[in-house]
Amino acid sequence: MVGRSSGMTEQVAEAGETLEMNDSTGSDAFLLAALHGSQAVAEFDLDGNILSANRNFLSLLGYEAAEVAGQHHRMFVAEGEADTPAYRDFWKKLGRGECDRGEYLRCARDGRPVWIQASYNPVCDGGGRPVRVVTFAMDVTERRRRLADDAGKLAAIDRSQAVIEFDLAGTILSANENFLDLMGYRMEDIRGLHHRTFVAPEQAGSAEYQAFWERLGRGEFSSGEYRRIGRDGREVWIQASYNPVFDPRGRPVKVVKFATDVTEAKLRNAEFQAKVAAMDLGQAVIEFDLDGHVVSANRNFLAAIGYTLREIQGQHHSMFCSDEYRQSREYRDFWLRLNEGQFVSGRFHRVGKYGRDVYIQATYNPIFDLGGRVMKVVKYAYDVTKEVELEKRITSKSSEMMVSVRALVDSIGAIAGSSGSASETASQSAAAAEAGHRAVHQSMASIDRIQASSSKVSEIVRVIGDIANQTNLLAFNAAIEAARAGQHGVGFSVVAAEVRKLAERSSDAAKEISSLIESSVVQVNQGAEVSKSAASSFEGIMSSVQATAFSVMEIAESTQRQRQMADEVSSLIEALARDVSH
Decide if pLDDT at 129 tops 80: yes
Is 450 strand, coil or helix?
A: helix
**What are 171-183's pLDDT values in tens digits?**
999 999 999 999 9
Provide the pLDDT confidence category of residue 577 given band limits of 50, 70 and 90: low
Which pTM was predicted?
A: 0.49
Lowest mean pLDDT among 11-20, 134-143, 157-166: 11-20
Beta strands in 230-373 (DSSP E): 235-246, 252-261, 284-288, 294-297, 344-351, 357-368
Phi (first) and psi of residue 165, to 5 degrees: -115, 140
Closest CA to 510 of 470, 473, 466, 549: 466
Question: How many other CB atoms sit within 10 Å of the CB of residue 226?
Answer: 19
Q: Which pLDDT score is estimated for 11?
A: 35
Provide the pLDDT confidence category of residue 31 given band limits of 50, 70 and 90: confident
Tell me the C-alpha to C-alpha distance, in Å, between residue 295 and each of 283, 333, 371.
Answer: 17, 21, 22
The DSSP element (H or E) to which 136 belongs, if any, is strand 130-139
Q: Which domains does the chain have, with CATH numbers?
A: 11-146 (3.30.450.20), 161-267 (3.30.450.20), 283-383 (3.30.450.20), 393-579 (1.10.287.950)
Q: Which pLDDT score is estimated for 313?
A: 96
Pairing of strands 130-139, 222-229: unpaired
Query: What does the mean pLDDT of the chain come to?
Result: 83
- Mean pLDDT over 257-265 rounds to 93
